[in-house]
Each structure stands twice: as C-alpha cells, then as structure tokens.
Amino acid sequence: MRIISGKYGRRRFEVPSSFSARPTTDFAKENIFNVLANLIDFEDAEALDLFAGTGSISFELLSRGCRRVTSVEKNNAHASFIAKVAKELKTSDLHLIRGDVFRFLQTLPSESFDFIFADPPYALKELPEVPTWVLERNLLRPGGIFVMEHSAAYDFSSLPLFAQHRAYGSVNFSLFMRE
C-alpha cells in the first residue's frame, strides 16, 4: 500500500498477503484524487471512510491534510492493520471504528462530513444500497463530496446528488455532490 501525496507521500506499508481486502489500485487512487483535488480542499476537512479495508484511502486523506478521518472496518485483522499504520505514522487524527458499516450508519448521531468514501466488497449483496444509505442520512455537509467505488456492473447516475462517473481500468467511481 502506497500513500501517493501529502505529508506522508511516498510512504509504503506492506499489506499481509492473507488479507481479503481488495485495496483501490494506485492507478485508480491517484487518478480519482487528481479529480477530487479540483473539487474539494482536503485541508482541515472531516472525512468518513466506509469499508476501510487496508486504510489506504484513510491515510491518503490524512496525508492530504484532513483534520479528522473516521474509518469503519468490520474485519478485525484489517482494523488492526489500520491501527498499526496509524501508530507508525504517529497520527491521532484517525478515528477507527471496528464494526459493521450498516450498523454504524444506523447508530451514527447527527454527525456530518465534508468527504465520504465507500469501497464495499464488490460481492456485497447490499452494495447497490450503499449510496442511498449514505445520501438519505444527510451525512454530507453543504459542498461535500461522496465517492462510491464499484464495479462496472452498477450505474448510480439516477440517484439524487449524482455528479459524475469515472472509470480507471476495472475500477469505477460514482461521485455525488451536495451544493
């Protein structure tokens, strides 16, 4: 796992080969962050990383200046890896939630975020419902962006706040923006 840019840029962390997580490829991550850099200022933003996996997106967000990143990951080994990397980076700006994303979203108090990223497992049967869960709970602040990573099998363009679709190889992103 590589952090692309920012204060931790070019740092690499070895992800155990036993992990079942499918991290966003460096190619796709670099390209989507190039797009996002023109849409949002990460400096001092508060972000939410759903289905955090290896924490790749969380650490990219912290590296780019997010004030606070909440990462939600159900798998204990993956969450432990995220905690280990946060400790190595000596950051206290990562808030790790070890638990189910859907339960987290149901119990989340009236908190909102400037940026939300969701990268559910492509085989997750509830994957098509994730954008609706996020958007209906008003988790995005005005001017906020929600990015949903998914396979080409899904089209979220009919949902409210949909702004654009980007594809990088087999990785697809749907972007939602609250004005």
Q: Could you report the per-residue pLDDT of 28-70, keeping only the tens digit for each? A: 999 999 999 999 999 999 999 999 999 999 999 999 999 999 9
Judge whether 76 and 98 are in contact, CB under 8 Å. Answer: yes
In the prediction, which pLDDT does 95 show? 97
In the prediction, which pLDDT does 104 show? 93
Say how far apart CA 61 and CA 46 lie, in whole Å.
9
**Single-letter amino acid code for the residue at 32:** I
In the prediction, which pLDDT does 24 show? 81
In the prediction, which pLDDT does 17 show? 82
In the prediction, which pLDDT does 14 show? 87
**CATH top-level class of 26-177:** alpha beta
Which residue ranges of the chain lie beneath pLDDT 50? Answer: none
DSSP code string of 26-60: HHHHHHHHHHHHTT---TT-EEEEES-TTSHHHHH
3-class DSSP state for residue 145? strand
In the prediction, which pLDDT does 94 show? 98
Domain boundaries, the chain: 26-177
Angle between helices 56-63 and 26-37 (to 10 degrees): 40
